[in-house]
Amino acid sequence: MSIEFLYRRSWMMAIATGLVLIAPHASIAQTNVAKASTELPTVASAGLEPDLSVPWSKLVSVNDPFEGKFLAVFDRNDLQDKRSRKVISLWSRNSIRVLLTANQQVCSGGYGGYFPYKWGSWDGTCLERTTASTIRQLYVKVGDRVVQLPGENGNFTVNKELATALKNAPDRNANIRLVLEGGETVDSEIGQATVKVWREIYEDSN
């Protein structure tokens, strides 16, 4: 009697008596998420900065060394004002991050002003500097519904109410309002392409 025959016989007896434990398969949902994340563009950090280079308004897989791997969408809006401000945001299932920056020129002699510089001729040296504002509150308006989110330094937690609203957002631009330290408010828009991606990120919010 060969060793191979004995091995097969013992294996069949083990199955018949229930001694073989078969590992459970991963759920279909977990498999789909894992598969989708491997096919998406990958961004190596969840941090925001003025000159960020990422796929804007597209579903991406963020693989942050501190926060792990998650699905998200980056959005950017250049405000048409004298301060040349930018609103950069990162939307994920559990949180929203917002960065507001402004370009400022600082000139020798103690003079300075927001870019673009509109004073008369200047013989001194001017350097352009980017500054960031501290954001204390975020208002998100989806359709006729407004959700207020308190936060700290531009970081906000997505509650169930907001997640449901974002998932069901109309197919158009959405509005946000930032409340800065000191009380100044800044209104901005989230692009239609980003709004469409919200549906994928918040699809399990019910």
1 found inside a domain: no
The backbone torsions φ and ψ at residue 195, rounded to the nearest 5 degrees and listed phi first, read -60, -40
Using alpha carbons, select from 108, 120, 112, 97 the residue that is nearest to residue 88: 97
Lowest mean pLDDT among 93-97, 103-107, 169-173: 103-107
Give pLDDT, residue 206: 66
26 found inside a domain: no
132 found inside a domain: yes
The β-bridge relationship of strands 155-157 and 145-152 is antiparallel
Give yes or no for residue 59 having a pLDDT over 90: yes
Give pLDDT, residue 105: 72
Cα separation, 44 vs 69, in Å, equals: 9
178 found inside a domain: yes
Cα separation, 97 vs 155, in Å, equals: 5
Give yes or no for residue 7 having a pLDDT over 80: no
Give yes or no for residue 93 having a pLDDT over 90: yes
Give pLDDT, residue 38: 66
Cα separation, 137 vs 115, in Å, equals: 26
Say how many C-beta atoms besides its own lie within 10 A of residue 75's C-beta: 22
For residue range 137-165, list pLDDT tens digits in order.
999 999 889 999 988 899 999 999 999 99
The range of the structural domain enclosing residue 106 comes to: 42-201
Query: Residue 126: is it exposed, middle or buried by C-beta count within 10 angstroms (0-12/13-18/19+)?
Result: middle
Rg (CA), the chain: 26
3-state DSSP call for residue 27? coil
Give pLDDT, residue 164: 95
14 found inside a domain: no
For residue range 29-56, list pLDDT tens digits in order.
343 455 455 689 999 999 999 999 999 9
- Tell me the pLDDT band of 128, cut-offs 50, 70 and 90: confident
Give pLDDT, residue 180: 95
Taken in order 53, 59, 61, 66, the sign of the CA dihedral is positive
195 found inside a domain: yes
Split into its structural domains, the chain has a count of 1
- Mean model confidence pLDDT for the chain: 80
- Tell me the pLDDT band of 108, cut-offs 50, 70 and 90: low
Q: Which residue has the higher pLDDT, 14 or 114?
A: 114
Percentage of residues in the chain having pLDDT higher than 70:
72
162 found inside a domain: yes
The residue count of the chain comes to 206
For residue range 129-138, list pLDDT tens digits in order.
889 999 999 9
DSSP state of 116: S
Cα separation, 77 vs 140, in Å, equals: 15
Beta bridge partners of residue 130, listed in sequence order: 103
Give pLDDT, residue 127: 75
Q: Which residue has the higher pLDDT, 60 or 107?
A: 60
Cα separation, 83 vs 76, in Å, equals: 16
206 found inside a domain: no
